[in-house]
Structure 1
Amino acid sequence: MGWVMGVTYLSALVFLASIVYEHGFRISEAEENWLQGIYKTVWGIFLISTTVQIVFRQEEGKSKFTGWAWVLFALLYLTLLPVVFHRPDQTEGVYGVWMFFHHPYYRMAILFFLSLFYLSSSLVRLLGRRTNPSLILAVSFLVLILIGSGLLMLPRCTYHGISWLDALFTATSATCVTGLVTVDVSSTFTLGGQIIIILLIQIGGLGVMTLTSFFAMFFMGNTSLYNQLAVRDMISSNSLNSLLSTLLYILGFTLMIEGVGMALIWLSIHNTMGMTLDEELYFAAFHSISAFCNAGFSTLPGNLGNSLVMQNHNLLFITVSFLIILGGIGFPILVNLCRTVMYYLRYWKWKLFGRSSRFPKQVHLYNLNTKIVLIMTTVLLVVGTLVILVYEWNHAFAGMPILDKWVHAFFNAVCPRTAGFCSVGLTTLSTQTVLFMILLMMIGGGTQSTAGGVKINVFAVILLNLWAVIRGSERVAIFHRELSSESVRRSHAVLSLYLIVAFVAVFAMTLIEPEASVMAIVFECVSALSTVGSSLDLTPLLSPMGKGVIIFLMFVGRVGAFTLLLGLVKQEAKKNYKYPKDDLIIN
């Protein structure tokens, strides 16, 4: 079985590479025939491999696959119908059925899903080898970035070509949902290139391991116990029993929110930008995904500060703002809110039928993480909107109607958390607003979200610990809950590591880019490390070494410096002894 699966995994890779070659290059007729031969070979290998797995499917007396896997296998075997049976006459009733299963698109779709199934299952199996999950997470993002940069360099993805460094920069920015770009997206990348960018954003926003874990568990079930524990930690599930449901919630929320956002964006721009219906739908889909994933990419020159949308498009800016907020509060919060809504719906259903007295009541509907994130998010948005409004009322927002000023103040308070859209030139903002934006970028969004930064949770814990120290309290508590010492320690470690990385990057950039102002460099480095994507117009002017520093910061910011170190540094074994305690003079 081992060598069979090895050949299967290799065939899946060859199949996906062949699709990339076919659609990324302009190929001759001979190359087309050669590719069709590869597809038929992969099809045959998958048939043999599937048959072997079905014969030896028993593993410890239990089936290895879920019902959906059997459906996928059945669809694969149906591709044999046109081979076994001759083509019927058009007058016969089965002609349409025969043509459907004979169609190359059907076979290619089945081979594509099988390739994803086998590759995702192999990746999840790596967790069963007790590989460090933090390291796998970092490597998965790195591999996706390298694949993305290669795809963006394909001839059909750009109008006039692109350098490897700019392709790497764009792929890193998209995968790490940052939004910083060294080239203009609309004039550099074709429709195919832009689709690759939005796919990188979607995969990077959800997380490579989230998607592969869902795909593998959806078709394979709950694999090994260690796999389940590793996946549970990565998606912050409450229990092993809720793993698949949590993954379904994550994907369901994403598709639903992005779908509603797409509809609202389309309504806000319909018949206002001189686009065809297809172009409007594509614009709406691209910006909805980019906003929810906190990426900040736009197909408009000048981002959302383009003259086409700056007037009479408040619905667009409000929709994008709330997509950013929903993507930035974190999937665990969305899951908790959804379950709370479902709880109240069930309660009112029981009450409607007069059985509310027997309804199984739940005491703590909102967990502590949800309360902290929602309160801190609200505070930061309100304060940010007011600060920007005060400093830019007669500055960057001068000449705008009053309603537009409020909308753009709210929009520019949302974007630093951490989506790099912009409606006004950031270089036109006052120094005070820029400094406040740097603070917002550092804080970022919620944990387990598409946002970056040190995270709201960490910032809240640090403030609570500061207040406890000032009051002389030995415990850090909120909402009648005491925070664990581990949470406090990790929060301070995350902030300390963030500041160290940011300082080193800023120091290095002052040497690499001596002509740039310190403010622009600090803003650029914090924006990259927090995966924000905002810039004081420094990104297109960066030297190759400067681009390399920003690429590194974007990668570290998305994976997490703390997570990255956990994957690289060997963890200390638990010790059964303690050293004598002593105190340092602090103040």
Structure 2
Amino acid sequence: MDYWERLFLYRKKLLLPRINQLVNWMLGITYVCAVAFLAALVYEYGFRISEGERAIIHWVYRSVWVVFLLSMTLQIVFRQDDSPYKFTPWTWVLSVLLYLTLLPVVFHQPESGTEVYWIWAFFRSPYYRGAILLLYSFYQLSGSLVRLMGKRTNPPLILAGSFLVIILLGTGMLLLPRATYDGIHWIDALFTATSATCVTGLVSVDVPSTFTLEGQIIIILLIQIGGLGLMTLTSFFAMFFMGNTSIYNQLVVGDMISSNSLNSLLSTLLYILGFTLTIEGIGMLVIWYSIHGTLGMTLDEELFFSAFHSISAFCNAGFSILPGGMSNPLVMQNHNLLYITLGLLIALGGIGFPILVNLYETVSYYLGYWKWKVFGRSRRFDKRVHLYNLNTKIVLVCTAVLLVVGTLVIAVIEWNQALAGMPVADKLVHSFFNSSCPRTAGFVSVPLLSFSVQTLLFMLILMVIGGGTQSTAGGVKINVFAVAMLNLWAVIRGSEHVTILRRELSHDSIRRSNAVIMLYLMIAFAGMFILSMLEPDAPLLAIVFECISALSTVGSSLDLTPKLGGWGKILIVLMMFVGRVGAFTLATGLIRQEKKRNYKYPSDNIIIN
């Protein structure tokens, strides 16, 4: 029996392992090429390059294009039905789009001016090829990251590590020559990248005068990635193009985005991205309408300004590219629609994606119900009683109460002080805007130093409370604060059960809420203590404001941030990172969890009060 006969008879034992090894090698080369493509893209647009360097970069693009074509071909030809990573319809669409880049290579240039010529020119365009290569690079790298999650790694550490990677990459990109006008110190680049990724808004340099258009684009990309979360984006790419991954991967992703079931995992990711893009798009249009023709900008500048501030507001980042921020005299008068829009975007971003998903499902249910009532009584309609879950009710009620109370408190205290001289409508709008910002975003329309001490102390309370869980906001979160207050009220009344809206809160929810608040206060005090030693000349109120703002990822400051020294900035960077990842999440990831015990010690009481 010759070699080919043995190969045919034992092809599964002899041939398939070699094919799988070839495909795996090609996948490894593809990952390297994806990283090389992204590095070349950054180098081309981040540095001022010569024609020789540009030629080398374009050679890298062509090489990556060839490798991607070979890799996709091998995956299609040697695809196995038992592979855990299926080819979804969208994977086939991506494959077709990639193969369409071969049309200008296979066919000669047609006669110019014809429809065929424009089709040929479109697929020959470097922008089309670059967009497909970028999409394919994200597809490959996201798949590798999701596979990494299947290695039984620690989900909290994966979350913290993803933010750390983005911060470091963002720091390097902000240090690129074309990102700034006159360069920037690495500490300031790290500070800005951390503030953008952690959607905080504290800045140690003036954004519009320091960063070029390229630098501002990098900042807004960091804000968008930080607001959504790197793992949310990579999981979406992987599941969208590769289908459902392993059960463990789905459980990890579901825990990160608070999905109710594995069946709704991809739809929840789609909801998150859909809500984000839709709300930011609507906010961009309204902001553009409110500032059109009033700031002395061109149409392109107005559109970029609108997009930047819409993303910054919805992600609760508080970054502004307007000199002086939102207290710029150009927008302080006759721009109430701008401030109302930003305030509403901040509120929507601060209530959290699970609440937005629940609201969408509720609206869809009511639309379906009325459609059934009017047109389809012949068919059965499944009526539901509890449309809003308890988490949604708590966050919506508390958010509305905090916005109304905050607006009234600031208006009453500052009516004849910081808001003096404004029309009544402007006073109410600025009171609303400055009550929504301290809980989540660092925008400010009235300089904080002009506010009274009482207003600043009230803002500190709002900063500590923050926004909703699983949102882009910081603080201890509304949910945690509400549970702690309900527990306090139950203890004062002598009740053994903590109840709200005819629901009894679980013992675990109460324990975790108390632990989150205690851990937050410990870290906040430690930060204040260390910063007071690093900046001995800074006022105590400014130190407290800076630390709470960093830990709650708010971004408000009593003008202390630009005056901080190197070690002070590093401390604030650490506090912003801990605040965005979550102190409780980080602690549970770093500390080994105790195994469940099948026994219980005798209980005893400690004298309290």
**What is the CA-CA distance between 1:356 and the residue it aligns to?**
8.7
> In the alignment, does 2:127 pair up with 1:101?
no
Q: Decide which moves more: 133-142 or 46-55.
A: 46-55
Q: Which has the larger radius of gyration?
A: 2
Q: 2:528 aligns with which of 506, 514, 520?
A: 506
Contact residue 57 and residue 63 of structure 1 kept, 8 A: no
Distance in 2 (CA, whole Å) between partners of 1:7 and 1:136 is 24
Find 1:391's aligned residue among 400, 404, 413: 413
Q: Is the 8 A contact 2:316 2:440 kept in 1?
A: yes
Match of 1:286 in 2: 308
Q: Tell me the equivalent position of 1:269.
A: 291
Secondary structure at 2:440's aligned position in 1? coil
- 1:519 maps to 541
Given that residues 152 and 158 in structure 1 are in contact (C-alpha distance below 8 angstroms), is that contact kept between their aligned partners in structure 2?
yes
Q: 2:85–2:243: 8 Å Cα contact kept in structure 1?
A: no
Q: Is the 8 A contact 1:329 1:445 kept in 2?
A: yes
**Residue 444 (1) aligns with residue 466 (2):** yes
Mapped to 2, the partners of 1:517 and 1:95 lie a distance apart of 69
CA–CA separation in structure 2 for the residues paired with 1:208 and 1:272:
37
Which residue type is aligned with residue 104 of structure 1?
A: P
Give the alignment's TM-score, normalised by structure 2.
0.94
Aligned equivalent of 1:86: 108
Could you say which residue in structure 2 is the equivalent of 1:427?
449
> What displacement does 1:288 show?
0.6
What is the alpha-carbon distance in structure 1 between the residues aligned to residue 127 and residue 291 of structure 2?
A: 34
Match for residue 345 of structure 2 among 323, 332, 344: 323
- Give the whole-Å Cα distance in 2 for the aligned partners of 1:441 and 1:56: 56
Partner residue of 2:140? 118
Give me the CA root mean square deviation: 1.4
| Residues 413 and 61 of structure 1, relative CA distance in 2, 3 Å threshold | closer
1:539 to 561, 580, 584: 561
The aligned amino acid for 1:257 is: I
Per-residue deviation, residues 69-96 of structure 1 (Å, max 9, x unmatched)? 1110111122222223333343776333
Give 1:11's match in structure 2, choosing from 33, 36, 39. Answer: 33
Distance change >3 Å, CA 362–CA 96, structure 1 → 2 = same
Q: Which of 359, 363, 376 lines up with 1:341 in the alignment? A: 363
Secondary structure of 2:330 counterpart = coil
1:415 to 437, 441, 445: 437
- Determine if contact 2:551/2:575 at 8 Å carries over to the other structure: yes
1:478 aligns with 2:500: yes
For residue 171 of structure 1, what is the aligned residue in structure 2?
193
Q: Tell me, in whole angstroms, the C-alpha distance in 2 between the residues paired with 1:136 and 1:171.
A: 19
Following superposition of structure 1 onto structure 2, how do residues 570-585 of structure 1 map, counting pairs within 5 Å?
570-585=592-607
| Matched letter for residue 252 of structure 2 | A
Q: Unpaired segments of 5 or more residues in structure 2?
A: 1-22
Q: More deviation in 572-581 or 392-401?
A: 572-581
Cα shift at 1:568? 1.3
> Could you tell me which residue of structure 1 aligns to residue 206 of structure 2?
184
Pairing partner for 2:182 from 125, 138, 160: 160
Q: Secondary structure at the match of 1:308?
A: helix
User: Quick check: 1:549 aligned with 2:571?
Assistant: yes
Give SS of 2:398's match.
helix
- TM norm structure 1: 0.98
Residue 434 of structure 2 aligns to a residue whose secondary structure is helix
User: Aligned partners of 1:90, 1:550: CA distance in 2, in Å?
Assistant: 59
Deviation at 1:266, TM superposition (A): 1.1
Corresponding letter in the other structure for 1:148:
G
Alignment of 1:76 with 2:124, yes or no, is no
Map 1:54-73 to 2 at 5 A: 54-60=76-82, 64-73=86-95
Once residues 142 and 469 of structure 1 are traced to their aligned partners in structure 2, the CA distance between those partners, rounded to angstroms, is 41
| Deviation larger for 91-100 or 358-367 | 91-100
Q: Is 1:250 matched up with 2:272? A: yes
1:421 is displaced (CA, Å) by 0.3
Q: Is 1:199 aligned with 2:235? A: no
Kept in 1, the 8 Å contact 2:84–2:246? The answer is no
Which deviates more, 522-531 or 386-395? 386-395
Q: Secondary structure in 2 aligned to 1:241?
A: coil
CA distance in 1, matches of 2:481, 2:534: 31
Specify the code of the residue in structure 1 equivalent to 2:159.
L
Matched positions, count: 587
Identical positions, percent: 71
Counterpart residue number, 1:355: 377
